[in-house]
Amino acid sequence: MAKSVSQLILDSPKVDKLGVEERVARIQTRSLKGPSKTQGLKMALSMIDLTTLEGKDTPGKVRQMCYKAHHLHDSISDLPSVAAVCVYPSMVKFAKKELRHTNVKVASVSTAFPSGQAPLDVKILDTKFAVSEGADEIDMVISRGKFLQGEFQYVFDEIAQIKEACGKARLKVILETGELTTLDNVRLASDIAIHAGADFIKTSTGKIQPAATMQVTYTMLMAIQDYFDETGIMIGMKPAGGISTSKLALHNLLMVKEVLGEEWLTNQWFRFGASSLANDVLMQLIKSESGYYASPDYVSID
């Protein structure tokens, strides 16, 4: 039986901040080397959502990013494509056309991204338009102002209605954790989003700092684990913003494996919202194959 919002509030556990920091610190002491590192880097690359979300976006820029999404570097053998490209609703049709013969998904932000400051009917129309243009995935933002005012039922209902508007598209719910201020708030927002119908929970828009800290991601992973233990239903995770190095990406993957298990180590259940990360991953892979570092410009995919 589905939980009421009032029950979710009561059941959402308080976060042991010191405990989280200690667990994250322990993970950060670990490293991968040799073939294990190469495997991890390729896995990370396959989980990236390449993103362009600027007011100056054009169809040409989107087409170029889509081309590079599945032609990352021809000189590296057995290289996966990224998981998805993420664009504004008005750019979905251009991305969809460019990626029509690939396995790269098209994601679209919606619900008045990044602020979320719009009436619900506008947010629903925004979502339905993106889906009608061909979006496979929707990245929505929650109403942080409502959440911080304690209007948790509003936040729950809004997510549920956007989920309905998504149809067959998968829904990623962005918490914008940098504005939630505490790990307790992050945990409660995660629980609300999951129970309201999120297919993924996502840390950030990338527009607010701090974004995807490992402490925040760990807290969200624990919410996913608790829900899975309770229901047997898997929920995806997407840290976004601030993950720009291969080392940090690998630490995130180690954390996912430790908290959730290997079942989550596919791009069906874990994503990185970090376009610049792809550059660093490619440079590391080139180094592992050739023995030297390439220029950042040589592998640029922005």
The mean pLDDT of 9-14, rounded to a whole number, is 95
pLDDT reported for residue 302: 46
pLDDT reported for residue 294: 56
Angle between helices 152-166 and 120-132 (to 10 degrees): 20
* Whole-number Å distance between alpha carbons of 91 and 189: 29
pTM of the model as a whole:
0.94
Amino acid found at 238: K
pLDDT one-digit tens code per residue, 137-160: 999 999 999 999 999 999 999 999
Catalytic residue among 126, 172, 238, 280: 238
Report yes or no: 152 and 196 within 8 Å, Cβ to Cβ.
no
Q: What H or E segment, with its residue span, contains residue 62?
A: helix 59-69
Give the contacts of 68 (CB within 8 A, at least 6 positions apart): 50, 301
Does residue 291 or residue 142 have the better pLDDT? 142
At residue 246, does pLDDT exceed 90?
A: yes
pLDDT reported for residue 75: 59
Structure tokens at 159: 């997510």
The mean pLDDT of 291-300, rounded to a whole number, is 54
pLDDT reported for residue 293: 59
Answer yes or no: 238 catalytic: yes
pLDDT one-digit tens code per residue, 79-114: 899 999 999 999 999 999 999 999 999 999 999 999
Where residue 2 falls among pLDDT bands split at 50, 70, 90?
confident
Answer yes or no: 61 catalytic: no
Q: Of 171-175, 197-201, 270-274, 282-286, which gets the smallest average pLDDT?
A: 282-286
Structure tokens at 284: 């590391």
Report yes or no: 223 and 191 within 8 Å, Cβ to Cβ.
yes
Catalytic residue among 123, 136, 202, 280: 202
pLDDT reported for residue 160: 98
Q: Of 8-22, 150-164, 285-299, which gets the smallest average pLDDT?
A: 285-299
Fold for 5-28+47-290, please state it.
TIM Barrel (3.20.20)
pLDDT reported for residue 295: 53
Catalytic residue among 49, 136, 139, 199: 139
Contacts 24+ apart (CB under 8 A), 165-168: 165/124, 165/127, 165/128, 165/131, 166/127, 166/131, 166/138, 167/131
Domains in the chain: boundaries: 5-28+47-290
Where residue 296 falls among pLDDT bands split at 50, 70, 90?
low
pLDDT reported for residue 68: 86
